[in-house]
Amino acid sequence: MEAGGLEWLLVPVQQLVSWGAAGAMVFGGVVPYIPQYRDIRRTQNAEGFSTYVCLVLLVANILRILFWFGRRFESPLLWQSIIMIITMLLMLKLCTEVRVSNELNIKRRSFAAADSKDEEIKAPPKRSYLDFDLNYFWHWSKFTDYVQCVLTFTCVTGYITYLWLDSSLFVETLGFLAVFTEAMLGVPQLYRNYQNRSTEGMSVKMVLMWTSGDTFKTVYFILNQAPFQFSICGLLQVFVDIAILLQVYLYSYYPQKPVSHAAHPASTKAL
């Protein structure tokens, strides 16, 4: 009776723990962006946030969703990608609105082409995607241009995935590219710290949040037997986070050289 009673108690507890872990997996990745979103909204200044973070995460999570069609992994990981895509689009919308409102230059740039006319002209020249200007990639003046780019990328990669969905090699490669892209998110920050020989202006708290989150995520991958790409790239992501934290220690206690440049207010990865 006692063993049966304990079993009756353990089953719902294990279920609650499982639900809690799944919920943390779905929403945990977006938590670091909530204070950043509120700060940008409050200060009306988006200079501290790199929109390339949004680009990397959008690409990684779109590829992960396409990977799901070839290999049905855990549903919380699928929902995590959907929630992250929505979050990054919201961040892009806010950053674009704030940046444009603070710009003195009235020249506008779009996904199809760079606009050489003033905004006041009512009938701008017609554009096609063949007019795409690489110099202004991901520096457009309207949120709709980012949406067009994301939809174009999704349609192209989705069509390619549809054609090659029966190829196990393609599917496994797609999954690796998805998680590897996300795992490399901290590398630009790591390289910038190395170039500057300093971590001044970088959000250490944010890197700590990413390290704990990436560690939890990797353990979740391993315990739930997620596709091997997830576990390998999760470990790689943790190593990058630890390397950044080691830079914080190294450059704080053993400064390499005086920092002569203006400090950046935010981490390239997390902010």
Series of mean pLDDT values for 10-residue runs along the chain (271 residues): 58 70 76 80 78 88 93 84 94 91 68 51 45 73 92 96 93 89 80 76 71 83 79 87 87 65 44 41
Which residues make Cβ contacts (< 8 Å) with residue 142, sequence separation at least 6?
Answer: 96, 100, 108, 110
Q: How far apart are CA 252 and CA 72, in angstroms?
A: 45
pLDDT at 131: 45
Chain segment 47-85, per-residue pLDDT in tens: 767 788 889 899 999 999 999 998 887 788 889 899 999
pLDDT at 132: 55
Chain segment 238-252, per-residue pLDDT in tens: 898 899 889 888 888
Q: What are phi and psi of 32, to 5 degrees?
A: -60, -20
pTM (two decimals) = 0.73
Q: What number of other Cβ atoms are within 10 A of residue 131's Cβ?
A: 13
pLDDT at 204: 73
> Which one-letter DSSP state was computed for residue 16?
H
pLDDT at 268: 44
Q: What are phi and psi of 109, to 5 degrees?
A: -120, 140
Distances, alpha carbon 32 to alpha carbons 151, 223, 255, 269, in Å: 25, 24, 28, 11
CA neighbor of 111 nearest in space, from 148, 155, 154, 156: 148
pLDDT at 262: 44
